[in-house]
């Protein structure tokens, strides 16, 4: 087994992995993905509750209880890319040594929402923001 880990191919792969790990952008992306595990788990738990509830007979799909229990899922999974952008902007600002990495997070969030959100007018004539592309899709 030691022969596999000490082979020249594995040593080159380890060196390549260390170079990737020292990249500030990739380390910020890694930190953002790891930081988003908590919202993902919260969304998953509420998704499981909403899937099991109608099977057991506690509530039906579309009931007020179902909609209330499904709201955390929408808040976490349907805004996942927004979470990633905010945290990644903060992590990258911290990695390059900015005095206020929060400003980096705010700026990346503004630019991302300008690009990802489309503006339109609904049937009633009101201005709306389409947030379709802020989720995992």
- Burial-class residue 47 by CB neighbours within 10 Å (0-12, 13-18, 19+): middle
**Nearest-angstrom CA–CA distance, 55 and 92:** 44
Contact 44, 97 (CB under 8 A): no
Q: Is the dihedral of CA 120, 123, 124, 130 positive or negative?
A: negative
**Inside any domain, residue 70:** yes
**Nearest-angstrom CA–CA distance, 100 and 90:** 9
Q: 108-126 pLDDT, tens per residue?
A: 999 988 888 777 777 777 7
Q: What is the reported pLDDT for 53?
A: 86
Name the domain count of the chain: 1
**Inside any domain, residue 42:** yes
**In this structure, what DSSP letter does residue 132 have?**
G
Q: What is the reported pLDDT for 2?
A: 66
Q: What is the reported pLDDT for 30?
A: 87
Q: What is the reported pLDDT for 101?
A: 93
Q: 20-30 pLDDT, tens per residue?
A: 888 888 888 88
Q: What is the reported pLDDT for 92?
A: 92
Q: 66-107 pLDDT, tens per residue?
A: 888 888 888 888 888 888 999 999 999 999 999 999 999 999
**Inside any domain, residue 43:** yes
User: What's the domain range around 47?
Assistant: 36-77
For residue 42, which of 12, 80, 4 has the smallest C-alpha distance? Answer: 80
**Inside any domain, residue 73:** yes
Q: Please report which confidence band the pLDDT of residue 41 belongs to, taking 50, 70 and 90 as the band edges.
A: very high
């Amino acid at each position: 087994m030691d022969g596999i880990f000490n082979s020249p191919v594995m040593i080159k792969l380890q060196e390549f992995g260390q170079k990737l790990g020292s990249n500030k952008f990739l380390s910020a992306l890694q930190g953002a993905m790891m930081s988003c595990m908590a919202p993902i788990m919260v969304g998953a738990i509420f998704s499981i509750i909403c899937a099991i509830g109608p099977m057991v007979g506690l509530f039906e799909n579309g009931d007020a209880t179902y909609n209330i229990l499904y709201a955390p899922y929408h808040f976490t999974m349907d805004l996942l890319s927004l979470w990633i952008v905010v945290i990644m902007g903060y992590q990258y600002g911290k990695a390059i040594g900015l005095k206020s990495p929060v400003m980096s997070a705010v700026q990346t969030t503004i630019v991302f929402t300008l690009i990802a959100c489309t503006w339109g007018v609904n049937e009633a004539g009101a201005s709306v923001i389409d947030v379709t592309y802020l989720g995992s899709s």
